[in-house]
Amino acid sequence: MNTDISSLKYCLENYVADPSFRSRMQTRPQETLQEHGILPDTQTPREDVSSDTEMLLEACCRLCRCSGELRIPEEQNRYLLEFRAHQQEIMREYERRIADDAYADRRLLLWSRQVRRRCRMENRQFRRRDAIQYYPLFFELSDGCSVQCPFCGVDAPLWKSDFAYTPENAGLWREILQISVRYLGRVAGAGACYMATEPFDNPDYERFIYDFRAVTGLVPQTTTAVADRCPERIRAFMEELGPDAVRNAALRFSIRSLSQLRRIQEIYRPEELKDIELLANNPESLNQYSLSGKGIRLRARMGEKGRDKFLRYGICCTAGLRVNMVRKTMEFLEPELPSEMFPNGYRIRETRTFTDAKEFETGMRRLFETWALPELPEDAPLQFNGVCRIVEKETCIEFWGDGVGCSLAKDGGFREAIRLVSEEPTTLTQLYRALSAGEGDALRLWQKFQYLYERGYVRWA
């Protein structure tokens, strides 16, 4: 990362996390940047300093979507251009990990694409964020999480124990990874080795990651909320991963409080932090929390103060398996908009247990074959997605999600079929029977429901 990006990164992270930095930047930008050592020394010509100040301030405003008058066109702001180019480079790397050819099974690829399309249809905020992806495999190397952030969107339970790197466990781990790569393809390495866990709770976390890299060829991303608790350990981890991996966002620090941000900025040298995103999760930050998991209780406690702090979106990036190596469980998850029924932003379709690699393989195959279906099963009860609004027009029926929609011709028994499915979950087979549909009509009906299923308007229970 070059100096311009480092300067903007440092400035932006403080701008997002710290309201007093933000207001000082608005009123005395040059002084604030010099105080923090972001701007070059006083030897630099005055006009350069003032242009750098303006560019940094405007870059922060643009990246945070703050209102206000902006004078420098985006294409003339070199900080912004370089920062965005670097972000895109990272995004391309993560997109490569889930590219079509990363999937060994075309059916899983299609289903994964459908899940993403559904989530984007359900939530317009997601449509604005291209970087949000879903991965078919996540591991947890602890049972529970010691940190217990009050905003935890997946409601991590209290830490109980870790998966130790014993010879037996290490052997099982490597076998499971090999099976996963054989079955899923390269995409098996695209997820992470934490979900409702804190990676560095497990004293052997790094050793599992080095094995993960050796087997899958990929370094999974690690986000830690305790970067100030174990800096030497994290430095050694960075050293072992190497600069290319760190540059590709292998490591991210979650910031839980302003004092933690200051501690981290004191503990780590700027060169050490230059490729590590400091994700502001402190309550004063501009970032919003997911209205799911512990966030629901936090929202209630915050009352009026929490009005704009929460957004209804799921933070679960798993569409597929969550494997807990301590409990030896494998759960098939689908991301969901948080609701009373799915408060943590995901639904668990089925849970299986395993004791060895063979059982893991059998369970994994069964779960994907049962639940990751790109085609609508004819014998499963269908229902409309809770966000779907149905509008009948003269010749067609419109289906609306959050700001997007589609329409289908109202021919055949389609109108009646929509009515039946709206009333109660109904299988396609039941629909054919109720409508006395011949072969051609049944096929046309299937095609229409399949079209809606691929876009997420219809789900199966």
Shortest reach from residue 345's CB to ligand SF4, in Å: 12
Residue 332 to residue 371: CA distance in whole angstroms = 8
Residues 271, 274, 277, 283, Cα dihedral to 10°: 70
Q: Report the nearest approach of ligand SF4 to the CB of residue 225 (Å).
A: 4
Which residues form the interface with ligand SF4 (CB under 6 A)? 145, 147-149, 152, 156, 196-198, 225
Nearest distance, CB of residue 425 and ligand SF4, angstroms: 33
Nearer to ligand SF4, 282 or 385 (CB): 282
Kind of pairing between the strands at 405-409 and 396-400: antiparallel
Going by their DSSP bridges, the two strands 222-224 and 251-255 should be labelled as parallel
Whichever of 323 and 388 has its CB closer to ligand SF4, that residue is 323
Q: Given the complex with ligand SF4, which of 6 and 288 has the nearer CB atom?
A: 288
Cβ 62 to ligand SF4, closest distance in Å?
Answer: 28
CA dist list (Å): 199 to 315, 349, 454: 17, 25, 35
The CB-of-190 to ligand SF4 minimum distance in angstroms stands at 19
CB atoms within 10 A of CB 279: 17
- Cβ 149 to ligand SF4, closest distance in Å? 3
Residue number with CB closer to ligand SF4 (293 or 456)? 293
Shortest distance, position 311 Cβ to ligand SF4, whole Å: 16
For residues 96 and 88, give the distance between their C-alpha atoms in angstroms, rounded to a whole number: 12
Q: Which of residues 156 and 184 has its CB atom nearest to ligand SF4 in the complex?
A: 156
Contacts of 334 (CB under 8 A, 6+ apart): 115, 319, 346, 347, 349, 371
Q: How far is the CB of 144 from ligand SF4 (least distance, A)?
A: 9
Query: DSSP letter string over 396-435?
Result: EEEEE-SS-EEEEE--TTHHHHHHHHHHS-B-HHHHHHHT
CB nearer to ligand SF4: pick between 125 and 148 = 148
Q: List, in order, residues 6 or more apart from 280 with CB less than 8 Å away.
A: 13, 16, 17, 255, 261, 286, 287
Is the Cβ of residue 295 or residue 401 nearer to ligand SF4 in the bound state? 295
Closest approach, Cβ 196 to ligand SF4, in A, equals 5
Q: 27 exposed, middle or buried (CB, 10 Å; 0-12, 13-18, 19+)?
A: exposed
Q: State how far the Cα of 18 lies from the Cα of 22, in Å rounded to an integer.
A: 6
At residue 343, φ and ψ (nearest 5 deg) are -65, -25
Element (H, E) at 298: helix 294-302
Coil vs helix vs strand at 454: helix
Which residue, 152 or 388, has its beta carbon nearer to ligand SF4? 152
Q: Mention every residue, 6+ apart, whose C-beta is less than 8 A from residue 30.
A: 39, 49, 50, 53
**Residue number, 187 or 250, with CB nearest to ligand SF4:** 250
Q: CA 243, 245, 251 angle in degrees (round to 5)?
A: 100
CB of 145 to ligand SF4, least distance (A): 3
200 or 360: CB nearest ligand SF4: 200
